[in-house]
Structure 1
Amino acid sequence: MKIKSIIVDDELIARNVLENYLKKYCPVVEVVGQAQHIKEAVPLIQSLQPQLVFMDVEMPFGNAFDILEACEGQQFETIFITAYAEYSLKALNRSAAYYILKPIDITELVAAVNKVQMAILKADEFNRTQILLENLRSKNGKQQIVLPTLQGFDVIKTESIVKLQANGNFTDVYLADGSCKMICKFLKHFDELLDEPFIRIHRSFIVNLNFIKSYSKSAGGFVTLLDGSEFEVSATYKENLLKTLGA
């Protein structure tokens, strides 16, 4: 099976280098077109109907997310190529999108293509592009996050997450409905990914500030959540917690 693909990047050299890499290291990918910006990319995607689009994040006349919005409703996987834009990386990670940092590493490229190939074969139940667009449009903080489980993926609203607890190579994510999901990621992944109202209080715990009922200074400091559970606040994170709470 060949994966019908398009490359979108404002630099001709970058497009050609990527196409050569794909021919040499990812023969399953068939590049059927190139575009240098949104004005070329949108009609090209609409006419060629690719299964996969390699897309630089920052380009003239609009960024990668503008292209996705213009092509909303069309089904294709995306591998983002980016040199920076920290805000973009968090958005991409929340939607479990594939991305590669410039300069392109061959190993990362092959891994991303393999994941896309598996996603196409498995016909994933969720649309990463749609989740990404919804998160970028969110004005009230009600965003979604894709959680990789042992069985596949779960899409969860971040506001429903009460706490996260390290569990070896996994993270236990506790939700407001009382359920718990074991996620195939270290706690550090979520510490870097989740912004306020999530805050690290211990090397093993992250909590949602909206679910904190009280803070006690006794026994070195601990927080009580609305569900009655109590967690120690380690000295490393105490100052930041008190500052955030305005205490």
Structure 2
Amino acid sequence: MNYSYIIIDDDQESVLKTKAMADSFSELAFVASANSYDDGLNLILEHTPQLIFLEIDPSNKKSKLSLLLINELHRYLKIIPKIIVTTSKKDLAYEAIQYNVTDYILKPLARIDFVKSILKLNKFNADSATVIAQSYVLDERPTVAVQHETIATDKPLILCIKSYGDHRYIDARDICYLQADNNSTDIHLNGGEMITAFKTLKHFEAILSYPFVRIHNSYIVNARYISRIHTGNAVCFIKNNATKIPFSKSYKANIDLIISEISNGNYLEI
């Protein structure tokens, strides 16, 4: 999933470092930055980003940056952006938790902390998903309807490919990977079957969350089906399949996410 973000920090050098780190993740889209409470509030209300990187212990006290900014947002917004605190002090963490921030990252920023934060964001969005049905009609070509269920129901995500009254249902757990084919997408299933949907790969990237991860301009993979990742050759191997899928440098951060998520499970490295 993609997240637009704003950086609010009184130290411009720190702003640039945060942006440089965030820019290495394809999920994060920079909107703007601010160096003070008032400017930051105005930017948030104007652009309504999904994510804010916030310094709460500024070196310049005149900037007035603090957790109180979150309180102010509740006066104007029904939906508060996710807040990731970026600061050098550990002792403010407990107070930040009381404000329900999404994450607390200590400076100097480390890449693995960003990886973990993105995983938390993706997990939160998956856990809080409600039943959504989307159907699209375009020149009588087959269309895709997507049904999302909350995690608590333990029901799988079902994709319905509709064409001239025909409803083809696909359990998302059976999808190994998706491959772009001009303005259509080939959906490859674990039994070897391939189904074509007349939607772009970008469309599927927007509606599918982890374990579906974009790793190339032409590929989205289901991380559950990856059996091997060769970073030297920049390829992923699919379970019980001879298929090798390339990944590009621009999506290397997504490969890091997959590796991190796998290692967070019941995992033993030998």
Query: Under a length normalisation based on structure 2, what TM-score does the superposition of the two structures give?
Result: 0.42
Higher helix share: 1
Query: Under a length normalisation based on structure 1, what TM-score does the superposition of the two structures give?
Result: 0.46
